[in-house]
Every structure is written in C-alpha cells, then in structure tokens.
Amino acid sequence: MNTQAVVCNQVLKSFGAGEDEVKVLRGVDLTVPLGEMTFLVGPSGCGKTTLLSVIAGLLNPTGGDLHVLGTALHQLKSSKAVEFRRENLGFVFQQFNLLPALTAAENAAVPLLAANWPLKKAVEKAKTLLDELGLGSRVNARPNQLSGGQQQRVAFARALIHDPKLIVCDEPTSALDEHTGHYVMELLRKIAVRPERAVLVVTHDNRIYNFADRIAHMNDGLVTHVEQNGGMN
C-alpha cells in the first residue's frame, strides 16, 4: 500500500522564457506521507506557494517527476486533472474565498455540488459537518456575517466535506489573530488528520509550527531539509 500522498522528485517550475525566465522551483525533492500534517515553511518568495500550486495540480511543473496519490497529476488531460482535484483534493485558502452570496452551509457544500450532488442533500451534509466544527448555529449566515475564525472553519468544512485524501492549506492562519489561529489549527488537526489522508500546510507563521508532524524547510526554490516534529504529541 502506498503510504506517500505526494512524491516530488527534482520538480522544476519556471515562469517566462529566455532572458525573462524566472526559476521558482529548482529541483524540489519532497515526500508528504499519509496520516500526517506536513508544514511547508520558509521565507517569502522561496517558492512555497508555487510548490503547493504544482502539487495541487493548479500549475504544471516545468520538469521533474511528481506523483500525487500515486497519479502523475501533471500528465493528466486537463479535464481529468479537474476531476482528480474535485475527487481527491481539499483546499483551504489564505483569504478563505467563500462565495459571499451563499450561506455557510451552501459554501461548505460547494465541492459536493460540483460533484453533482442534489442541493438539499449536499447542504444537509454541510450542516452536519459545520455542527461538528462548532458552527451549528451559524449555518445560514453569510460570510460577511461571520468572524474570520468562523469563515476559516467554513473553509475547513468545504475542504473536508467530500472526504478528500489530500488537503492543501495556504497560510490558514495569516488572516487570524493568534488565539483564533491556534484554535482553528487545533480544530484542523483534530478533524482533518486521518490515516488515509495527508494535510499539507504552507505557512510562515512559526506560532503554529508545533501542530506539524513534519516540517519541510524551503529556501530559494529548494527543500533544504525536513524535520520530524511530533505534531503536538
């Protein structure tokens, strides 16, 4: 059985061409194991978000070998890649990116709606999940009626509702104060980390490093070293 959610082998990513070419990833080697929460950390501009985008199939690598859940995602046809993302990946964005016109429950249900679930059934499931996340009384609130922490919890619900095998989070605490950031990370760790699932978090918030099982340090387009962390155990 494959125990690695992500395997990067000499992954390259450049933008532009010729003299304007910017090499953002310069041969990344990284494995993200299932059942763990892996943090990708490093200074601004080191390529964390680009690597996350490549792993999530939102950008194609320029070179190297990349397998996500055993699939060479970048070699899939565009429509297959979209389908793969829809079924296997959950996303948590820095700015939450909730749809302002939808309620919390409807926002959380979006991945199910994208998978053609009936609206009522999808929203019911979202309400149950939001209840587990402590938002049972706010399921009908719109994003502008929720605090930052509550919005992030809705985003977690959206990332988890379709039971993906890989969750990618981009700076999940950067828009939150320390207390709320701590709380949502605790929650994320509690509900997201499963033996059959990996969680990959990009962050530069060192206040939350203790939630990681392992931390991959990046610098100048490379993963320089990976340290085991223990994940608050």
Partner 1 sequence: MRFIAWQMLTGDKAKYLGLIFAIAFSTFLMSHQVSIFCGLMNRTAAQIDDIVDAKIWVMDAKTQYLDEVKALTDQDLFRIRGVEGVEWAVPLFKGTSRAKAPDGRFRGIILMGLDDASLIGMPRRIIKGNIDALQEPETIAIDQVGYKFFFPNEPVTIHRTLDLNDHTVRIVAVVDSNAPFVNLPVFYTRYSQAISFVGRERNQMSFVLAKAKQGIADAELNRRITAATGLKSLTANELGWETIWYYIKNTGIPINFGITVVIALIVGTVVAGQTFYLFTIENLKQFGALKAIGVSDLRIVGMILMQALIVGAIGYGIGISMTAAFFEAFQSNLDLRGFRMLPEIMQGTAAVVFFIVILASAFSVRKVIVLEPAVVFRG
Sites of contact with partner 1 (CB under 8 A): 49, 52-53, 56, 58-59, 79, 82-87, 89, 91, 93-95, 97, 99-102, 106, 110-111, 113-115, 119, 158, 170-171, 174
In single-letter form, the type of residue at position 33 comes to P
- Which sign does the torsion angle of CA 14, 16, 18, 24 carry? negative
CB of 90 to partner 1, least distance (A): 8
Cβ nearer to partner 1, comparing 22 with 232:
22
Cβ nearer to partner 1, comparing 64 with 111:
111
CB of 232 to partner 1, least distance (A): 26
Q: List Cβ neighbours of 21 (8 Å cut-off, separation of 6 or more).
A: 14, 15
- Neighbouring CB atoms inside 10 A of 120's CB total 9
Cβ nearer to partner 1, comparing 122 with 130:
122
CB of 228 to partner 1, least distance (A): 26
Using CB atoms within 10 Å of the CB of residue 228, give its burial: 0 to 12 exposed, 13 to 18 middle, 19+ buried.
exposed
Cβ nearer to partner 1, comparing 26 with 86:
86
CB of 82 to partner 1, least distance (A): 5
Using CB atoms within 10 Å of the CB of residue 231, give its burial: 0 to 12 exposed, 13 to 18 middle, 19+ buried.
middle
Cβ nearer to partner 1, comparing 88 with 229:
88
- Residue 26 CA to residue 88 CA, distance in Å, equals 27
CB of 64 to partner 1, least distance (A): 17
Q: List Cβ neighbours of 186 (8 Å cut-off, separation of 6 or more).
A: 211
Query: Phi-psi region for residue 16, left (φ > 0), alpha (ψ -120 to 50) or beta?
Result: left
CB of 159 to partner 1, least distance (A): 9
Cβ nearer to partner 1, comparing 103 with 229:
103
- Residue 27 CA to residue 72 CA, distance in Å, equals 17
